[in-house]
Each structure stands twice: as C-alpha cells, then as structure tokens.
Structure 1
Amino acid sequence: MKLSVLDQSPILSDSDPQEAMRQTTELAAHVDRLGYHRLWVSEHHSTNSLAGSAPEILATHLAAHTKRIRVGTGGVLLPHYSAYKVAESFRVLETLHPGRIDLGVGRAPGGMPNVNLALNRGKLPRVEDYPKQVEQLMSYLHGEDPAGMNIYATPKGDTSPELWMLGSSGTSARLAADLGTSYSFAHFINGHGGMGAMDRYNNHFTSSIQQTEPAGNVSVFAVCADTQERAEYLASSLDLALLLIEQGGVRHHFPTPEEAFNYSYSFFQQERIRENRKRMVVGDKETVKQELESLADAYGVDEIMVNTIVHPFEERLHSYELLADAFNLTQEG
C-alpha cells in the first residue's frame, strides 16, 4: 500500500505563519527521505490557524526542496480561477519537475462565505460551471485547445501533471468518473459515505486523455505515537480543534494537549468528539497500520493520505517516522 501526506500548514500554539511554512518545508523533506509517495498542500483563505492560502506557490517551493516524492495541491479551488491560468501555472511546475506534479482540484469556497466575493471581484462563483472547468483544465494540461480559440497552455512538454478531483460526497465522485480523472475522498472531512462515493467512482469510470483506469485514494487524520496512551494525549488537541471549528469559534492557533486537558467539555461536546473520531486514526504504529489497511480495504484503494496535526511539531515528524517504519517504506539511503 502507498502512503502519502496531506499537510495544511497548521499554525500551532506559540507559533506564527512563517514558522508554519518552515515546518511544512521541513516536513516535506522529511517524508521525502522516509519514502512517502506524494505530498499535497491545501488552500484555505482568511484563516488564522492555517497558513496555506496559495498551494500552487507552496507546492513549487516544496518540489524544489525534495527529490523523489510527488508534490501537488489538495487542492486548487477551481471555481475561483480561470482553468487556462491554472493549467499554465501547473505546466510551469511540470516543466520544472517533470513526472512529480499532481494537480488536485475542488469546488469548496476555502473559507467563510465572503471569501467567494473577495476572490471573485464581488460576485459569487458559478459552481454550475465547475464540470466544464475541469474538462477544459484537463484538455489544456494535455496540450489541447478546448475552447477553439487557437490558444494553448504553455510551456508545452512531453509530460503532464496528474489531475485529481477532490471530494467529500458522491457528487464529486461521479463527476471524476465521467471526466476520467483520479479521485480522492476526504475522509478527514466527512467520515460517512466515502465508501459508497468511491464505489460510484469505480463503477462509472470512463477513460480519458489522462488515464484508462480509475485511480483513487482516501485522506484521513492520523496520530501515531510510541504508545497508545501517548497517541491519545497528542490527539486530544486535534479533538478540541475540530470541536472549536464546528462551533464557529475564532481560532488563532491549534491548541496544545495541555489546553485540551484543561478544557471543560459538556456532555454534548464529548459526544461530538466521539463522532469526530470516525475521521481519525489514533494509536501506536501497529494499531494505526492495521486501521489504515482496513480503511484502504473498505474503500478499495491502494493509497492512504495521512493528515497529522499534533503539538509540538517534533511529534508530527515522529508520527510520520513511525508510520514509515510500520509500512516498511523505502527510505533514502
């Protein structure tokens, strides 16, 4: 099974955006050496707890600081942008790092509702145009002229970025199948319905200029530590962070385990934490390995993307080390 990484550049307690970006850069080099398959970075706007607002720029930086791992976006929120411009940006990336670039796209706003207006010059994006945008994007990436305007995405080349559609529902799965892209389900966002969505994708897949067979993966929160007890302690900070997100609280950083320990939880909040654990895998390396393999089997995929947000940063690095060891990844010699 392939093991990959989704990183959202979280801003930890007593940290700042510059440090979050430095940590993402260090993490990229770390998981590259450990033998992970791919690394994606996300797009979030007007948030104080996640530093990644321009994943195409961050991916360029990370590709330059790594050697083997595939690097890409999870993902570019396409309704905000021109398919042609996105294609050219990623054709530049592919030219710089041929055979290593992924372009994951989604249609979420990436922030509060007003983000839509700010990114679209005071207008709401036409999400109904999204399927056509993805179709045009794939054509541009592969050197075609989908609009019949005698224009092409440059620089041209012999290889193209791999296009992935991201989703947390069956709608995106069917669209990915119809257009013939790869498909990634965000289990870390929605712990329900993902297996049905992946089945829909596989059962309706149509070959395309990019690929002739379906290819899917699933992303999940994971916290791995030397012991189950230590993993639970570290994961408590993510429990609290997800709870605060659901309650619409303004967050300036991801809390520490100590903050989570001292937080006074109501009965309802404790129930929400138990429900949110369906989006997470927590434990020592053997426990996490077994649960990730079971998740991959349930989804019918051969790749899991792990999203680890723990405090301090060194524990994040260690979590990925333990998983690399558990899965016998081929580390750089």
Structure 2
Amino acid sequence: MAQIKQVKLGTQGLVVPTIGLGCMGMSQWAGYDIYGKSADEKESIATIHRSLELGGNFLDTADAYGPLANEKLIAKAIKGNRQKYLIATKFGIEIDDNEQLTGKINGSRAYIRKAIERSLKNLGTDYIDLYYLHRLDTNTPIEETVDTMGELVKEGKVRYIGLSEVGSKSIKKAHAIHPLTAVQSEFSLFERNIEEIGIIDTLQQLDIALVAYSPIGRGFLSGEILKPEDLPENDSRRSMPRYQGERFFKNIALVKEITKMAEEKNITTAQLAIAWVLAKGHVPIPGTTKIKNLEANIASTEMALSKEDFDRLESIIPLGSDVGARYDEAGMKRVNL
C-alpha cells in the first residue's frame, strides 16, 4: 500500500496527510460507548501504529472524549515517538475538577489555561500541534478565546489553532485576532449544511482548511446498516433524528443507490464517500478502531472521481436535501454559531 500524500492545512505552515484518523470511538463518552460497541484498547493502539506506518500520523482527539480517557490512550500509543505524530485536540466542553462533564461550554481565558495544561499532561507532551475550540461559548467573546489561544502559540504550547462547528461570523472574528489553520465540522454526502449556508465559502476566502469529521455519515455510508435493529440499543445514533422512524428508511434507500455506484467501481461505499470528501478539497478524519477499516480508508486517497461520478453522487443526494437533523434539538443549538 502506498504512503499517504501530504497537503498543506491552511496557510500557516502545518502540513498533514490528506486523511487523518479520528480517535473518538476508541474511548467511551461519559461512560457510554459511542456507537454501542466497546473498543479494545490494544486494537485501537495497534490501529494508530499501523496508521503511522502508512504515513497517517494526523490523530484527532478531544479532552471531552471520555472525558480525558481518549487523550490518555493516545499518550500510550505515541509514547517514545511523539515527534512522529501530529496531534489535534479540542477544549471547551467543560470538565470539572472531578473529571466530569458539566454540560456547559467554556471558552474563557481562565478555563483555556486550565484545559491546555490538563491536555498536555494527559497526552504526555509539551506541545499540541493543532488546538481547537470544541464548541462556541456564547457567554465569552470569541475574541477573548482566540486571543488566549494565540498566547499559547507564542508560548510554544500550541503550534496552530482552529475552531470546531462555528459559523462564518465567528470564523471571521476569530481569524482577525489570530490566524486560524483549520475549522472542523461534520461533512459528508449526508451532511452538507456548511456548504449550503456559505461556511465553506468563508473558509476558502480566508484560506482556512476544513477538517471533515464523520465523512462516512456516522457509519451509515458504510452500507452495512440496513435496518434500525442493526444499531445496538445503547448506540448514540438512535437519538439522532436523521436515523429515526420513516427518515431512517428514506436515508437507507439513498445509501443503497450510493452502494450500487461503489460496486460498479469495485470499491466500498465508505471508500466512495471518503473519496468524494477528498475530491472536494477537504481533509477527512474517519474514525475506526480496526486496522482493516483503516487500510480501506487510506486506500480511498488513491481513488479519483470523474465529473460524471460527481454529478451522479450529487444527483442521489443533492445539495439542500432534507435528510433529517444530525443532532437532537439541544445539539443543533451548539453548531454553526
């Protein structure tokens, strides 16, 4: 298998592989398995190591994943080889002194100072390559948050900064305080809202990269989920409107059309979904805990899509299609702000 190609992330100097590795699913979230299945720590670490062998050294995590457990797992995986990895982590989903999520968003100067020291300790490092605000704190001016993040860059604790799930107005305000390298948001054939409402246009105008999480539509674009019963009882996707009731079956019908196209190209549905994100010019960070899936995801970076492929895919799920909300009402109030 060929080594992953490299790409500039934004214009501030960070160079990363064209595809990263989302590590969230390697740990529980507040005691619950992300998709109803427990990940094996040894298998997860082996997947991280295999990714490095293939040139996939761009790992994505957050202090909230666990909370804190995911950063600690990554510390085990990169121990002795820190300089070979590019680590992106996030802060802002508030964690108290008892290491519990409070349910609040905190982007204040004092909390950032606390969060960065905790993440550095958990990751077993003295610097973070890319540090994101996980969600916008509507009670703290974005200027204060980004100014503090900029201070961390000057101090050498952080190399580059970014934001996650923010709107154009916040991006412009933040970028004026300190240059952003990347904005992370959910983006896939199933989730193109940031394209529809102009956020991607804003990023392109400012030369800020998009790091796309859930490029396989939270697993739906794998083609392996065909009925509600395929989701475990404690699977977080059961709470998402997109995967409930009649909407579930309408969306599965769309997936089947994409699967038909993938089969014609002799690739998997997931590979086709990732290739589409790559062809749009973004950096996907699909998550997996298994080496087999990792290798398939990385192989998608070698797959070129023609204009006819693009047109066909986007005729199956056109921009603006109503495929249902990706979060419940409370979750939707925290994105694109």
- Call closer, same or farther: CA 1:287–1:232 in 2, change over 3 Å: closer
Deviation at 1:131, TM superposition (A): 0.5
| Number of corresponding residues | 253
| Counterparts of 1:165 and 1:13, CA distance in 2 | 25
1:122-154 Cα deviation digits (max 9, x unpaired):
xxxx623051342233232133xxxxxxxxxxx
Q: Give unpaired runs (5+ residues) of structure 1.
A: 45-50, 109-125, 144-155, 206-212, 250-264
Matched, 1:323 2:314: no
Match of 2:56, SS?
Answer: coil
2:54 aligns to what? 34
- Call closer, same or farther: CA 1:86–1:12 in 2, change over 3 Å: closer
Structure-to-structure mapping, 1:13-162, within 5 angstroms = 16=38, 19-42=39-62, 44=64, 52-54=66-68, 55-64=70-79, 68-74=84-90, 76-77=92-93, 79-80=105-106, 82-89=111-118, 96=125, 101-107=129-135, 127-143=138-154, 156-157=155-156, 160-162=158-160
1:208 aligns to what? none
1:115 aligns to what? none
1:256 aligns to what? none
| Counterparts of 1:194 and 1:61, CA distance in 2 | 35
Deviation at 1:321, TM superposition (A): 1.0
The CA RMSD measured in Å over matched residues stands at: 4.6
| Counterparts of 1:248 and 1:142, CA distance in 2 | 39
* TM-score, with structure 1 as normaliser: 0.58
- Call closer, same or farther: CA 1:274–1:197 in 2, change over 3 Å: farther
| Counterparts of 1:62 and 1:36, CA distance in 2 | 13
- Any conservation in 1 of the 2:35–2:237 contact (CA below 8 Å)? no
1:146 aligns to what? none
- Any conservation in 1 of the 2:215–2:273 contact (CA below 8 Å)? no
Matched, 1:216 2:196: no
| Counterparts of 2:143 and 2:286, CA distance in 1 | 30
1:40-85 Cα deviation digits (max 9, x unpaired):
12455xxxxxx62125544444432755231222555363361222
Structure-to-structure mapping, 1:156-235, within 5 angstroms = 156-157=155-156, 160-167=158-165, 169-179=167-177, 180-181=179-180, 182-187=182-187, 191-195=191-195, 196-203=198-205, 205=206, 214-222=208-216, 231-233=222-224
* TM-score, with structure 2 as normaliser: 0.57
- Any conservation in 2 of the 1:169–1:193 contact (CA below 8 Å)? no
- Any conservation in 1 of the 2:271–2:296 contact (CA below 8 Å)? no
Matched, 1:8 2:24: yes
